[in-house]
Amino acid sequence: MAMITADPQDVPKVESFSFTPESMAKVNALIANYPPGRQASAVIGVLDLAQRQQGWLPRVAMDEVARILEMAPIRVYEIATFYTMFQLKPKGRYLLQVCTTTPCWLRGSDHVMKACQEAADGVTFSVQEVECLGACVNAPVVQINDDFYEDLDAASTRRVLDAFRRGETPAPGPQVNRQTSAPEGGPLTLKGE
Amino acid sequence: MPIVKIDGKEIEVPAGITILQACELAGVEIPRFCYHERLSIAGNCRMCLVEVKPGPPKPQASCAMPVADKQEIITNSAVVKKARNGVMEFLLINHPLDCPICDQGGECDLQDQAMAYGFDRSRYHENKRAVPDKELGPLVKTSMNRCIQCTRCVRFAAEVAGVEELGATGRGEGMEITTYVQHALTTELSGNLVDICPVGALTSKPYAYEARPWEMRKTESVDVFDALGSAIRVDVRGNVVMRVLPRLNDDVNEEWISDKTRHAIDGLRYQRLDRPYVRKGGKLAEATWDEAFAAIAAKLNGLDGKKIAAIAGDQCDAESMVALKDLMAALGSPNVDCRQDGSKLEAGARGGYIFNAGIRGIDQADAILLVGSNPRLESPVLNARIRKRYLRGRCAIASIGAPVDLTYPVERLGAGAATLRDLAEGKGSFAEKWKAAKNPLVIVGPGALAREDGAAVLALARSLATVRDDWNGFAVLHTAASRVGGLDLGLVPGAGGRDVAAIQAGAQGKEIEAVFLLAADELDLSKFGKAFVVYIGHHGDAGAHRADVILPGAAYTEKPGTYVNMEGRVQLGQRAAYPPGDAREDWAILRALSERLGKTLPYDTLDQVRARLIAVNKSFAALDTQAPGLWVEFGKAGDVTDAPFETPIKNFYMTDPISRASRTMAECMASRQQQMPVAAE
């Protein structure tokens, strides 16, 4: 993934940003976790709130975070560019983070990736290749916004994405007949008796 | 104190220092890139690896590890050498091989250390990473491919300069040093970034591709662009000053200098006065020294001394000022003044006009009151020193004057002298902090003194000062390099004499008919009426335009001169180049003129002039020392108005003939104005 290290120019101009009253309450709760004068410690959480509100992090949002936390803006830019989960350019409504690390790749993440890329239009869906999401036992896996969709193949990926496109929210977790990471088709041991 | 064994030698070192510092005490050199004495410790370049026993079984970064008793430190083993070679190989993976076209070449830490730890060929066959260059303003040129991410510049900007505008964005191989939003750094100390950068990533923009370090003659000298008297090194190729670098002087400038000190020197090439001029028929015409002296002699012959006046400028050396004073005395004129800004400082006892606590005193102060001073513009390096004090904590800093950003928080008490009066009477919450402080330091700036009630302000400030045997908390912050020297020499109106304002008033009528301006340009020159003006200086600035006779003098890099900084430290500047054309050293001009006027001054050599300096004021005998001045009554109790204090420096980049002629300074000004359309300054 290309690193963003300078204020991106190819993004829609966002004139101003301010937290909604609900977000602001959460911001204040985050700041209250730290001793007085150490409000800058809340920066990652506050940036995440800003991203959830705006969908991505325009510079005005980072400047607003810097103002609220009394930090120099450059310190906020440093953090936002360091963590790949902060989006400095606009993305689709659903961010598809496709794991392509070895276990997922062995289990066919290439097909999943292809299905996601076909769906990606930048408005509803955006695709990002990520390293291990830590759900290897349910490989291949795609993180869609906050939820993991597991045990995918090309067909089930398309099914999930179609559901999102229709405005539904498919159930997260394994997309095969399996309870979390239990064996496929139901339990094989300890079946009673 | 811990006793450690370094390479088999036992040494006792102060507790709490790092292994790297202990090694330096033991005389063992440790290579480093990110570690810098005056910045916080980052420990990210890994070049300073040493073996430590007892400790982890791998080399340790010595810059970030504190010493402990009975530690054994090995800096010359095969393990250490191999570890450093490895670090160096990694650093060079992405470093371009462009030393032949790099301005850092010849004085590059990476180049030097690669000689000791570098591998003789590369094992890396992939492409080197490419990093876009950044825009950091008109003084700092970037070549970010060369950056090794030591983050010295980031720490300098945040800690010393006090502008958190540089940062490291991205991560891993994508990490870049940047401002993110491309803009010039809003600091007056940006030139120092070039010095602290250990590689050629940040180099000097005005000096780009100008010269190589080994081509230049280096002369140690003293800065005159502000009254701090920073220690500088002037590098000259041929007869051209190529660059100015700071020298280490912990008592004064540590190792920083302001952008004006460093980069106004291109002004020395433009607008120079290289031959005498005489005004004929309303126009200045080139003349010989003989003709110029004849024109002056014709005017002064038979003229009553009381109708002659002299004003010394802001960058004069003490030698020329004493010659001017002696010449005026010989001509019978009491109208001498070195305070062209109209400041109400008195010449008498030194305690009343120097920075008594010394620059080092700032480190000991526990309460600082700035009266009519904006040190960020008046002396940026001194401002960095106050910031350093602020960062150490437990120091109340307040100001009376215009609201300005000094890079550290300041409690603003008010705008003018009335606030100072209230404080002196013990009103307000800051008055209690002031009383509780052990070493309070009141810094009186030019904005508080160059006004009608300046003497009363001085008296009020005096009443706030704490003076003990071991502490004198009264400090005057000067803006002119020549001011303390001038006051030491007594270049103030004698009995019945006129000060600058009165000289100008007299020039309107017939009371003043001839005025000598010794490089004095920061005056309203339209107010000299019909007076005959003799200008002795080095630049065709305001003074020269008004002059009837111009005698071309030498700039500070072109003459050996004595300068007294604001804390009363007598320092010698050296000649690094020769003045252009027919220009001469100023004291020698005055000496030659005195002979022509029949009042020959009693000195022929520089040594004799310096002997005369000591005869006038003993303080000139002690070079490079600082002590509080004699503490007596000064100032004049009286009513003060509540007109706000204003710093005389409206534009930091152009304060004197040299910087006004400098194109680099003009660029800096334009860049700063672009950033701040509604400049508060």
Give the pLDDT of residue A192.
77
A7/B182 Cβ within 8 A: yes
CB contact under 8 A, B180 and A72: no
Mean pLDDT over residues A133-144, rounded?
95
Would you call A4 and B169 a contact, using CB atoms and an 8 Å cutoff?
yes
Tell me what the mean pLDDT of segment B195-212 comes to. 96
- Cis amide bond preceding B31, omega within 30: no
pLDDT at residue A89, as a whole number: 92
* Percentage of chain B exceeding pLDDT 90: 91
Structure token pair of residue B68: 């402990």
Phi/psi at B277 (5° precision): -130, 150
For the four alpha carbons of B63, B64, B70 and B75, in that order, the dihedral sign comes to negative
- Portion of chain A with pLDDT greater than 90, in percent: 84
User: Which residues does residue B10 pair with via DSSP β-bridges, in sequence order?
Assistant: B5
A-chain CB neighbours of B165 within 8 Å are 72, 74
pLDDT per position as a tens digit, B447-484: 999 998 999 999 999 999 999 999 999 999 999 999 99
Tell me what pLDDT residue B676 has. 63
Number of A–B residue contacts, CB under 8 Å: 50
E runs forming strands in B195-353: 202-204, 217-222, 231-237, 240-246, 277-280, 283-286, 308-312, 335-337
Task: Flag if A3 and B170 touch (Cβ within 8 Å).
Answer: yes
Which among B198, B167, B155, B64 is positioned nearest to B391, based on CA atoms?
B155
Statement: residue B182 has pLDDT above 90: no
Q: List the single best residue of A74, A76, A88 to mutate versus B (max B Cβ within 10 A).
A: A74
Mean pLDDT of B194-218: 95
- ipTM of predicted assembly, 2 dp: 0.88
The shortest CB-CB distance from A82 to any of B132, B166, B170 is to B170
Binning pLDDT at 50, 70 and 90, where does residue B593 land? very high
Q: What confidence category does residue B680 fall into, taking pLDDT thresholds of 50, 70 and 90?
A: very low
**Per-residue model confidence as pLDDT tens digits over B277-288:** 999 999 999 999
Query: Which chain A residues are within 8 Å of B170, Cβ to Cβ?
Result: 3-5, 81-82
Residue in the block written with tokens 């193949």: A153
Partner residue opposite A74 with nearest CB, options B165, B170, B182: B165
Whole-angstrom Cα distance, residue B447 to residue B416? Answer: 10
Q: How confident is the model at residue B673 (pLDDT cuts 50, 70, 90)?
A: confident
- Distance between CA atoms of B478 and B343, rounded to whole angstroms? 10
pLDDT tier, B40 (very low <50, low <70, confident <90, very high otherwise): very high
With beta carbons under 8 A apart, name residues in chain B contacting A5: 169-170, 174-176, 178, 180
**A185 confidence band (pLDDT: 50, 70, 90):** confident
Per-residue pLDDT of B625-637, as tens digits, reads: 999 999 999 988 8
CB B627 within 8 Å of CB B400: no
Q: Do B167 and A4 touch (CB under 8 A)?
A: no
Are B516 and B550 contacting, i.e. CB atoms less than 8 angstroms apart? no
Report the pLDDT value the prediction gives residue B681, as an integer from 0 to 100: 38
- Could you tell me which of B583, B588, B519 has the C-alpha nearest to residue B277? B583
Query: Do the chains contact at A74 and B176, CB–CB below 8 Å?
Result: no
Angle of CA points B605, B289, B610, to nearest 5°: 20
Task: Give the HSE-up count for residue B453: Cα atoms under 13 Å, Cβ half-sphere.
Answer: 19
Please tell me the distance in Å from A174's CA to the nearest CA on chain B: 33
Pairing mode of beta strands B308-312, B335-337: parallel
* CB interface of A with B, residues 4-33, below 8 Å: 4-7
- B490-517 pLDDT, tens digit each: 999 999 999 999 999 999 988 999 999 9
Q: What's the order of all strands across the beta sheet hosting B532-537?
A: B283-286, B277-280, B549-552, B532-537, B514-518, B308-312, B335-337
Q: Answer whether A119's CB lies under 8 Å from A125's CB.
A: yes
Q: Is B174 within 8 Å of chain A by CB?
A: yes
The whole-chain average pLDDT of chain B stands at 94
Answer yes or no: is pLDDT of B250 > 60.
yes
- Give chain A positions within 8 Å (CB) of B166: 74
| B179 CB within 8 Å of a chain A CB | yes
Report pLDDT for B317.
Answer: 96
CA distance B351 to B628: 6
Model pLDDT, residue B678: 47
The residues, ordered by sequence, that sit 6+ positions from B61 with a Cβ below 8 Å of its Cβ are: B43, B46, B48, B49
Contact A7 B180 (CB under 8 A): yes
Residue to substitute from B135, B169, B407, interface A, most A β-carbons within 10 A: B169
Q: Is B608 in a helix, a strand, or coil? A: helix
pLDDT of residue B3: 95
Sequence-ordered list of residues with C-beta below 8 angstroms from that of B674, at least 6 positions apart, any chain: none
- CA B245 to mean position of chain CA atoms: 11
| Alpha-carbon distance values, B540 to A78, B427, B519, B632 (Å) | 48, 50, 10, 41
Q: What is the DSSP letter of B463?
A: H
In B, which residues are within 8 Å of A74 by CB distance?
164-167, 179-180
User: Average of pLDDT values for B371-400?
Assistant: 95
Q: What band does B409 get if pLDDT is binned at 50, 70 and 90? A: very high
User: Among A55-69, B176-190, B195-209, which stretch is predicted with the lowest mean pLDDT?
Assistant: B176-190
Query: B168 to chain A: nearest residue by CA?
Result: A78
What residue of B is the nearest CA neighbor of A82? B170
In this complex, which of A6, A74, A81 lies closest to B166 when CB atoms are compared?
A74
A67-76, A106-115, B175-184, B314-323: range with lowest mean pLDDT: B175-184
All residues of chain B having their beta carbon less than 8 Å from the beta carbon of residue A81 are 169-171, 180
Confidence class for position B638, pLDDT limits 50, 70, 90: confident
The pLDDT, as a whole number, for residue B255 is 94
In this complex, which of B165, B169, B179 lies closest to A81 when CB atoms are compared? B169
Query: What is the least distance, in Å, from the CA of B671 to any CA of chain A?
Result: 20
Partner residue facing A5 (CB), from B158, B166, B169: B169
Angle at which helices A21-31 and A43-54 cross, to 10°: 170
Q: What is the pLDDT of residue A187?
A: 84
Integer Cα distance of B406 and B384 in angstroms: 9
pLDDT band (50, 70, 90) for residue B677:
low
Which of A81, A85, A86, A88 is most worth mutating to test chain B (most B CB atoms within 10 A of its CB)?
A: A81
Q: How far apart are CA A184 and CA B388, in angstroms?
A: 66
Interface of B with A in 96-155 (CB under 8 A): 132
Q: What is the DSSP letter of B539?
A: B
> Do B493 and B335 form a contact (C-beta atoms < 8 A)?
yes
Q: In 3-state terms, what secondary structure has residue A81? A: helix
Is A75–B179 a contact, with Cβ atoms under 8 angstroms apart?
A: no
Task: Report yes or no: B485 and B318 within 8 Å, Cβ to Cβ.
Answer: yes
Identity (one letter) of the amino acid at B162?
Answer: G
Answer whether B464's CB lies under 8 Å from B440's CB.
Answer: yes
Who has greater pLDDT, B185 or B270? B270
- In this prediction, residue B63 has a pLDDT band, given cuts at 50, 70 and 90, of very high
Q: State the pTM of this model.
A: 0.93
Report whether pLDDT(B412) > 90: yes
- B120 band by pLDDT with thresholds 50, 70 and 90: confident
Nearest to B557 by CA among B531, B542, B538: B538
pLDDT at B326 over 80: yes
Confidence (pLDDT) at A130: 93
Residues of B in contact with A4 (CB under 8 A): 169-170
The confidence score (pLDDT) of residue A6 equals 82
Q: What is the pLDDT of residues A14-72, one digit of tens each?
A: 999 999 999 999 999 999 999 999 999 999 999 999 999 999 999 999 999 999 999 99
Residue A118 burial class via C-beta count within 10 angstroms: exposed 0-12, middle 13-18, buried 19 and up? middle
Contact A74 B171 (CB under 8 A): no
Pairing relation of β-strands B176-178 and B202-204?
unpaired
Quick check: B12 pLDDT over 60? yes
Cβ contacts of A72 on chain B, cutoff 8 Å: 158, 164-165
CA distance B633 to B465: 12
- Strands, E assignment, B447-502: 474-476
Chain B residue closest in CA terms to A63: B181
Q: Which amino acid is at A117?
A: Q
Omega before B579 cis (within 30°)?
Answer: no
Q: How far is CA B574 from the centre of its chain?
A: 16
B167 vs A: CB within 8 A: yes
Question: Which own/partner contact pairs does B82-87 have at CB distance under 8 Å and 24+ positions apart?
Answer: B83/B49, B83/B59, B84/B31, B84/B47, B84/B49, B84/B117, B85/B117, B85/B118, B85/B119, B87/B45, B87/B46, B87/B47, B87/B49, B87/B117
